[in-house]
Structure 1
Amino acid sequence: MAVFSLMLVVFSLTTGEFVVSGILPDLAAGLGVPLSAAGLLTTAYAAGMIVGGPVVTLLTARVSRKPLIIGLVATSVLANAASAIAPGYAVLLVSRMLAGLVVATFFAVAIATAASTARPGKQASTVGKVVLGLNLGIVLGAPLGTFVGQHLGWRATFWSVAAAAALALLTVLRFVPDRPSATTGPVAGELRVFADRRVQLAIALTAVGNTGVLTVFTYLAPLLTEVGGFPPGAVPVLLLGYGAGAVLGNAVGGRLADRALLPSLAGLLATLVVVLGLAWLGGGHPVATVVSTVLLGALAFAIVPGMQTRVITAAGAAPTLAVAVNASGYQLAAAFAGWLGGQVVDSGAGLRAIYPVAAALTVAGLGIALYSLRRDRRESSAQGSLPGGRSRTS
């Protein structure tokens, strides 16, 4: 129930992030601003996540985990309520940034807390259960929030997100156990974790390994209609297939990572490269497009539990800060993916060229995974060769 409570919070936060795109025309009309200005509301939320990840995590490093979680979720409730009653565009823009500020830190604390409660050898699959809230927020929460906004107004959407977060807060109060703070020493000492080469590689793996599939996801709707040949009305159904694949992939990826973390990540990234290539080759065939869309959803989220667990295990004494920065890195990758896809389209290569570009980026992520795997094995071999099997540092 503790993990379920954390998953509910992730669901509400993810819904709050992705639902804005579905009610963008209503927001623009209601606020009397251009659509481009309304689109900056999603940028404000992402900017809050990018900045809030390292900053909020460092500032709260000495706070016990349960009070911190309660404070972060309460902030989300208040920020979404402020969005619902915002008298104008400027206030709404600020409230969306405030809502985003707490997300990366909560995600990091939730993952670290879930991992600490997991049985030995079950860290990745337990993390995967928390990440399931992300899947459900995209597949279920955002469409429901859009439906509410279209029928009851955009303010009702933000009230719904606030209510979902408040409900999740009640389950947190009841079921989530308290844990000591992430550090008892100088907060600045937490930054030493980023001098560790394994942590650097783990964060780089998340950022680079996800950029390709994020580029495809950003432009998935036009890829389905203009390349795949589907009518616009079929896009929600195909997105549901993507989401169903994401839920399945998240569960399978967690189990694979429990068994062999880096080897499974390397295998999944290699498979993702192949699927992106097949999506490029079969882009004009409806059946091939449907199959590749579901597989892309599955693989995009199959790699997430393992990547998060890799950061936790590499960071050792400071996992919360490392995971928070990792979440900020993921948001930077998403922002870069949106820009990169636009550059590909504007270059004249066409939408379909996004697939091979995404495959090339994923190959780069695969290279980081293989290098990390080789490095770990070399270190293990070196430690095992010392007298008594002790490491050089022991």
Structure 2
Amino acid sequence: MMTQQNAEINPNAIAQVKVLALLGAVLLVGANSFVLSPILSEVAFSLATETYHVAWAISAFGAATAVSALTLAGMIDRMSVGRVLGSAALLLAVAQVSSGLSEHWIWLCLSQALAGVAVGILLPGSYATATATAPKGREAARLGVVLTGWALSLVVAVPAAAFITEHVGWRMVYFLMAGLSVLVAGILVVLLSDIRGGVSTRTSPLRALRLPGVWPLLAVMLVYMTAFYGSFAFFGVGIRHAFDLTAQGSGVFVLAYGVGFGVMGFVLGMVSPKITRGYLCLVLLAIATSYGTWGLTLQSQISAVAGTAIWGMLNQLGLNALVVSLNRQASDARGAVMGLNSAVTYSAVFAGPMVMGPIYAASGFTLVTGVGAVLVLGGVIVSWKTV
């Protein structure tokens, strides 16, 4: 069990700074996850290759993250949190420098695979630390702030990457991210050195999966994330087709999603709801309704922007509730369980677009979100019966 070994003069202020450090770690993960997609064509032209070759770097990143999360995330249960997360952030910096220096698409793929190894430790470790060190009853609040790193990566990192690529080149995007990774690594080492796991032996993924309540929650997470990544993969093109927009015009909707997700994170930071089975089911029902009503949402750009922001808000609530619930079941194996969670999440990165691709090709974005609604409703049933 993670413990904080010393109390300083102003523990509340120090706790808030530590939360911001964890938010920075999630921001790093989100930035590396999202920045390549909008600059694929520029990177492909620079490397004199096809766009799909560069896209394989995203797949390499996701696959390596899943494997790393399964095999390495448990270190957070046994070692100094500052050293583990700081080392992972430094490894991410090395991978980003290597990505920026790439002269061939295979080099880029290998670099992003190395980034995935780092993220497989950094992301579950950040989630586990946020909930393990929160005062009792405030887990949702603390995690809500940390999860806002995802929103910031969408709102800040993605537009910045497009701007930097246009004016300086895509390589500078990775060099700047590497500098940020080094900065965050130092902060994590300094601020979290007094937090360490209290477990002397490694918890295997299989043992973590057998903990009471863990596998049903992971099943819910799988369908929830498959619905999200499958829908989000076709969200931009669906919006552009509905309103005949340019790529830049569709960026407003991505911004709306990020703002909604981020705003709800700060609301959770103040309210800190009690996460119960009923609360989880209610949130998932609201998310399923959001997916199911996109046919109406796309009637106008105003309703679409509002619907996108609400989608972001609801996804903050859903992800928060699921991660807090998983940590509650994890006991002394939070790192291992969060590793399983990250493995499931990045499996959904593959499964979502794969499942939804033929559906989009046949019937468009509205049916994609309809299938997403069905998947999330399946999660409601599992949650109600077993969680």
Provide the TM-score with structure 1 as the length reference.
Answer: 0.88
Deviation of 1:63 after TM superposition, in Å, equals: 3.0
* Residue 367 (str. 1) matches residue 381 (str. 2): yes
* Residue 213 (str. 1) matches residue 228 (str. 2): yes
SS at match of 1:102: helix
Deviation of 1:350 after TM superposition, in Å, equals: 2.6
Alignment identity in percent?
20
* Residue 79 (str. 1) matches residue 95 (str. 2): yes
> Residue 369 of structure 2 is aligned with which of 355, 378, 382?
355
- Is 1:53–1:327's contact at 8 Å kept on the other side of the alignment? yes
- Is 2:39–2:162's contact at 8 Å kept on the other side of the alignment? yes
Unaligned runs of 5+ in 1: 374-394
* Residue 223 (str. 1) matches residue 223 (str. 2): no
Measured at CA, do residues 85 and 351 of structure 1 come closer, stay the same or move farther in structure 2, by a change above 3 Å? same
Q: Which residue of 2 aligns with 1:143?
A: 159
- Is 1:248–1:298's contact at 8 Å kept on the other side of the alignment? yes
Q: How do 1:263-282 residues align onto structure 2 when only pairs under 5 Å count?
A: 263-282=278-297
- CA–CA distance in 2 between the matches of 1:270 and 1:101? 34
- CA–CA distance in 2 between the matches of 1:30 and 1:74? 26
Q: How do 1:1-394 residues align onto structure 2 when only pairs under 5 Å count?
A: 1-58=17-74, 62-181=78-197, 183-185=199-201, 187=202, 191-252=206-267, 258-346=273-361, 348-373=362-387
Pairs aligned (count): 371
Q: CA RMSD in A?
A: 2.0
- CA–CA distance in 2 between the matches of 1:362 and 1:254? 25
- CA–CA distance in 2 between the matches of 1:135 and 1:4? 14
Q: Which moved more, 1:256-265 or 1:326-335?
A: 256-265
Deviation of 1:11 after TM superposition, in Å, equals: 0.7
- Is 1:282–1:289's contact at 8 Å kept on the other side of the alignment? yes
1:33-86 Cα deviation digits (max 9, x unpaired): 101111111111111111111112246754332211121111111111111122
Measured at CA, do residues 190 and 293 of structure 1 come closer, stay the same or move farther in structure 2, by a change above 3 Å? closer
Measured at CA, do residues 206 and 256 of structure 1 come closer, stay the same or move farther in structure 2, by a change above 3 Å? farther
Deviation of 1:224 after TM superposition, in Å, equals: 0.8
Unaligned runs of 5+ in 2: 1-16
- Is 2:89–2:181's contact at 8 Å kept on the other side of the alignment? yes
- CA–CA distance in 2 between the matches of 1:201 and 1:170? 37
Q: Which moved more, 1:109-118 or 1:301-310?
A: 109-118
- CA–CA distance in 1 between the matches of 2:298 and 2:273? 34
Q: Which residue of 2 aligns with 1:387?
A: none
Q: Which residue of 1 aligns with 2:12?
A: none
- CA–CA distance in 1 between the matches of 2:302 and 2:31? 30
1:234-284 Cα deviation digits (max 9, x unpaired): 211121111111112334456676323332221111111222222123423
- Is 1:257–1:305's contact at 8 Å kept on the other side of the alignment? no
Q: Which moved more, 1:239-248 or 1:258-267?
A: 258-267
- CA–CA distance in 1 between the matches of 2:65 and 2:205? 19
- CA–CA distance in 1 between the matches of 2:153 and 2:245? 25
- CA–CA distance in 2 between the matches of 1:132 and 1:30? 33
Measured at CA, do residues 78 and 182 of structure 1 come closer, stay the same or move farther in structure 2, by a change above 3 Å? farther
Q: Which residue of 1 aligns with 2:6?
A: none
